[in-house]
Amino acid sequence: MKTEIIKINREQFEEEELEAAAKCLREGKLVAFPTETVYGLGGNAFDATASARIYEAKGRPSDNPLIVHIAEIKALEELAVDVPDAAYHLADAFWPGPLTMILKKSPRVPKTTTGGLDTVAVRMPSDPIAAALIRCSGVYVAAPSANKSGRPSTTKAEHVIEDLDGRVDVIIDGGAATIGLESTIVDLTGEVPLILRPGYITAEQLAEVLGEVRFDEAVLKKSPSENVVARAPGMKYRHYAPKAPLYIVEGRNEEVIRYINAEAVKNAAEGRITGILATEETKKCYTGGMVFCVGERANAESIAAGLFDTLRSFDETGVSVIYSESFADNPLGTAIMNRLLKAAGYHIIRLKKDEEK
Ligand code: TXA
Ligand code: MG
């Protein structure tokens, strides 16, 4: 399949520029497009064949449901049944934006789109290109992240081209995604709202609107041996992984740097290159290895925005092992560490504090 690449300037564009892509969606074809979180791989959510194509293009297991993207709140009535008031309160507070709600699905949504489940995930993106594309197409757009299954999500059109060129009909290049981590997912089908995936909208922000909200157990787990089943089917799969094994090093900054520097020396002696995921504040402290700066510790948003891009960058370098600093202590820490832990297959190296030695 020949993939057409259409460049759009997010700051200033006419809806006509999206008409060819919108037509593709109406015809059951696949269009990758930017959103404020990550790029999405879109198809008509009401067309079971289009959904099946999405799974195929990504190489995604068919029990892993897709998020349906909408441009107006009234779409909720067509996609879901028994919509609780809480959904409208959340929509008022956070839509359009990086929040996905799980609701009981309406019979109109094919089970191919929902991975066989009786619930449906719905999100209204705020990115102007995504919003205009959905409006223009006149369909609801099922869209998982636009990466090959298992790889880091895509935050730039270059990443999408790398993973999906020749596998989708159109890729819209709208520049870098501003947030860089996928949406927060909240399940509203149970008695207490449950966060199935942490994201840019934090638990505290949700609690302000909902009163009570809890994390699904699987979100908080810190090791693969903890035997909890993820309620978001996608969260059970190995994910985001760079090609080389990745280890997260936890401890005080100076200790982490000392440890990684020592490992880099050892590896170099064996002819192996060490990849290092560092920050603006620490990057100059590393004396060997191949250092990539993910963002600024003082600016958690910059780390979220740079994470997937940095994980992908290692793949082009031939490093044989990667060490990453830890980010638990910043405001987006829950979401960042959730992705990083998965990328690392939960491999954490915990350094003892000096005083404990
Ligand atoms: O920010 C985002 O959410 C991006 C952009 C493109 O909107 N999309 C995205 O989709 O991250 P995806 O498919 O990569 O991740 C969707 C997650 C998966 O873990 C999936 O299992 C879960 O949402 N999910 C979807 N429908 C669900 C449902 N009915 N019940 C529970 N989990 C669901
Ligand atoms: Mg994904």
**pLDDT tens readout for residues 294-341:** 999 999 999 999 999 999 999 989 999 999 999 987 789 999 999 999
pLDDT digits (tens, 9 = 90+) for 278-297: 999 999 999 999 999 999 99
More confident residue, 107 or 232: 107
In whole angstroms, give the CA distance from residue 318 to residue 337.
24
For ligand 1, whether the C-beta of 144 sits within 6 Å is yes
- Ligand 1 centroid–CA 65 distance in Å is 7
Contacts 24+ apart (CB under 8 A), 213-222: 213/186, 216/187, 219/195, 219/334, 219/338, 222/341, 222/346, 222/348
CB atoms within 10 A of CB 99: 25
Query: Among the atoms of ligand 1, which is closest to the Cα of residue 60?
Result: 13
- Ligand 1 centroid–CA 347 distance in Å is 24
Percent of the chain with pLDDT over 90: 88
For ligand 1, whether the C-beta of 120 sits within 6 Å is yes
| Residue-averaged pLDDT of the chain | 94
pLDDT digits (tens, 9 = 90+) for 14-23: 999 999 999 9
* Model confidence band, residue 229 (pLDDT cutoffs 50, 70, 90): confident
CB atoms within 10 A of CB 293: 18
Residue nearest to atom 25 of ligand 1 (CA): 65
Asked if 333 and 300 touch (Cβ cutoff 8 Å), the reply is yes
Comparing 93-102, 240-249, 291-300, the range with the smallest average pLDDT is 240-249
Give residue 221's pLDDT. 76
pLDDT at 144 over 80: yes
Give residue 54's pLDDT. 98
Count of alpha carbons within 13 angstroms of residue 253, beta-carbon side: 12
Query: Among the atoms of ligand 1, which is closest to the Cα of residue 232?
Result: 32
CA-wise closest residue to 160 among 63, 30, 285, 23? 30
* Model confidence band, residue 356 (pLDDT cutoffs 50, 70, 90): low
For ligand 1, whether the C-beta of 130 sits within 6 Å is no
More confident residue, 218 or 320: 320
* Model confidence band, residue 354 (pLDDT cutoffs 50, 70, 90): low
* Model confidence band, residue 226 (pLDDT cutoffs 50, 70, 90): low
DSSP 259-303: HHHHHHHHHHHTT-PEEEEE-TTTGGG--SSEEEE--BTTBHHHH
- Ligand 1 centroid–CA 111 distance in Å is 15
For ligand 1, whether the C-beta of 232 sits within 6 Å is yes
DSSP conformational letter for 145: B
For ligand 1, whether the C-beta of 25 sits within 6 Å is no
